[in-house]
Homo-oligomer: A and B are copies of this chain.
Amino acid sequence: MSDTNIIKDLKSKGLKLNNSRMQILELFLGNHRSHSAPELVELLKMKMDRATVYRNLNFFVENKILDQIQLQGETPKYELAALEHHHHLICKHCKKISSIQSKSLENALETTTNEIKDFTITDHVFEFYGLCKDCLNNEE
């Protein structure tokens, strides 16, 4: 979905996009990366209050515009809600997050789901930690 479609989609859901919400959304549309709440509060500190940032992040998550993702040992991050199912690669060195899709993983998930008898899996989170190419090259 393109950026303008995201906005259309919001309106079709009857959601109101006022100034504050637009400014938060623009940050995400501008770089398609993930941001933590404290990071956004800092970026927007001259434009709106901390409470407004938090309230609108929650609003976006409730309305499935943003996903909240919780990586190991970090404060939650937000990213544009995934249209395609994907997983995260987190560089332990530079902390950059990239995403992947893997057919073999999804197949294995299906197998696992069927294997398990006394639990019904409805959702899953796979996270991969390691080193991105840049950090691997610029090794210290």
Contacts and interface: CB of A to CB of B under 8 A. Distances in A.
Interface stretch (A4-12, A15-23, A119-127): A119-127
Interface residues of A, number: 40
A100 B71 CA distance: 20
B124 A100 contact: no
A118 B105 contact: no
A92 B122 contact: yes
A129 interface: yes
Interface stretch (A49-57, A78-86, A108-116): A108-116
A27 to B, nearest CB: 22
Given A105-B105, A124-B129, 6 more contacts: A70-B73, A92-B122, A119-B130, A119-B132, A121-B128, A125-B129
28 contacts: A68-B72, A70-B70, A70-B71, A89-B116, A89-B121, A91-B119, A92-B123, A98-B119, A100-B112, A102-B112, A104-B108, A104-B111, A104-B112, A105-B112, A108-B109, A112-B128, A118-B132, A119-B132, A119-B133, A121-B130, A122-B130, A122-B131, A123-B128, A123-B129, A123-B130, A124-B129, A125-B127, A125-B129
